[in-house]
Amino acid sequence: MRKADVQQFIREHGVAGFVDAYDRLLEGRVLPNGVRERIDPMRQSLTSLWEAMVGPVAVSESLFRQVAEAGALDATGFPTVTEKLISTIMIQGYMERPGVADVLVPETYEPKTLTERIPGFTQMSGPKNVLPGEPYSAATFTDKFAAYESALHNKKDGIMIPLTEESVRFDQSNMILRHAQDVGRNISTERDRRTVRAVLGIGLDTGTAQNGVFFPGGTDTALYRGSVNNLRTNASPIYNAPLKIANSVLEDWTDIQEALTVHAQNITDDRDMLPARPIAWRPDTLLHPISLTGTVANLFQGISMTVLTRGATAASDPEMRNTAPNPLNTLFSVIGGSMPLPVATAFADEVSSTAWVLYDRRTAFVRVQIFPVQVFRSPAGWGWDRDILVAFRAREWSRVVALDFRMAQRSDGA
């Protein structure tokens, strides 16, 4: 926007009128005169806005002297306008690159305090046999809950962007605005990475320790454990398809069948009145590393596949393979579900190039969100001990926690 146009608009409609109009132009909303227009935020000049709203930029004169003469920088509207500009660019950077976070964990819970609990109940008892003249058994269940305080404690993420006197004096608008855009992108990227690690059972930002994701009864517990049969390794695959090598590697459709079989045969509900029952598990998501993308593409997109019909016993008795239709096209419809959505990301490779997780994304995890990405500005004028005219900060506070170990199966492939 040209300096003269801004000055003329302010003379006619005041500072508040320009701030409102500028906000509408950034968002592409209808102006008071009925016209719908949108300006490109990346082509705005912070120096032009300063000269139009505060005063001329002279080489030999301090910008803070102009602030003192104006009475207060806030009164000029410059901080408010730049806040809208920076926040618009930052949110665009946050939203422009589709990530995997909301695909992997679409459910969001917004608590009022950090000490809240995600309430739940054990599985209701099923019907019991009733003999003639005998009383009916009462249905029983007990409270259970998942906590998240430890997962969120000291986990707020944020960064500040200062608008210095030099950046306005020498019109470094492009650098400042690109920095704001990159901040938005990086916040989105970190959110994706945290989500991937949480689905893999890792709550910390470094390492591969199984903690910080699952808090049954408030106790930090490993989400994936061999003792509860939702962690398969090559040393302990729990179940293997006939003729298959005993491992947890994802190679063909039988490995998906193995995970389904492990769950069907070993995972039961938590009803108080035994015996426990199997769970009608319908996994809808497969998280896997980029390293397995070719394998997964063949699994889910292939029309046919080669099936091992006899394992090799000696050089003179090699293995036998036959070509058959891809059974995954109908496998999941048979169990009442739909084909899982494969999600590949390099953040999974960061943890393991072979591990994969098959899970139900709406019942296994939830995102506890204290607040989404937000942008604020500081009180104007830090000029006494540093040449900062105004500063902006971006923050985001959320973490993914597991609700139940029964709804996810991790296979390490190693």
pLDDT at 182 over 90: yes
Residue 250 pLDDT class (50, 70, 90 cuts): very high
Q: Which of 45-49, 63-67, 253-257 has the lowest mean pLDDT?
A: 63-67
The tens digit of pLDDT for each residue in 151-178 reads 887 788 899 898 888 898 888 999 999 9
pLDDT of residue 144: 67
The tens digit of pLDDT for each residue in 345-380 reads 999 999 999 999 999 999 999 999 988 889 988 776
Entry pTM: 0.84
Mean pLDDT of 79-89: 92
The tens digit of pLDDT for each residue in 212-239 reads 999 988 889 999 999 999 999 999 999 9
Q: Which of 79-93, 184-198, 304-318 has the lowest mean pLDDT?
A: 304-318
Amino acid (1-letter code) at residue 107? E
Q: Where are the alpha helices (DSSP H) in 28-125?
A: 46-53, 63-70, 73-76, 78-96, 101-104
pLDDT of residue 332: 82
pLDDT at 5 over 70: yes
pLDDT at 297 over 80: yes
Residue 11 Rama label (left phi>0; alpha psi -120 to 50; beta): alpha
CB-based contacts of 203, cutoff 8 Å, min separation 6: 151, 197, 211, 212, 213, 399
pLDDT of residue 131: 80
pLDDT of residue 306: 61
Mean pLDDT of 69-87: 81
Q: Which of 117-131, 245-259, 326-340 has the lowest mean pLDDT?
A: 117-131
pLDDT at 384 over 60: no
Cα–Cα distance between 352 and 360 in angstroms, integer? 21
Mean pLDDT of 176-184: 93
Helix, strand, coil % over all residues of the chain, rounded to 5:
35, 20, 40
Write down the domain spans for the chain. Answer: 3-102+153-193+376-398, 209-308+321-370+400-411
pLDDT of residue 230: 96
pLDDT of residue 2: 83
pLDDT at 304 over 70: no
Residue 410 pLDDT class (50, 70, 90 cuts): very high
Residue 133 pLDDT class (50, 70, 90 cuts): confident
Question: Average per-residue pLDDT in the chain?
Answer: 85
What b/e string do you get for 321-355 counting C-beta neighbours within 10 Å, with b at 16 or more? eeeeebbbeeebeeeebeebebbbbebbbeebebb
More confident residue, 385 or 49: 49
pLDDT at 124 over 60: no
Contact 166, 37 (CB under 8 A): no
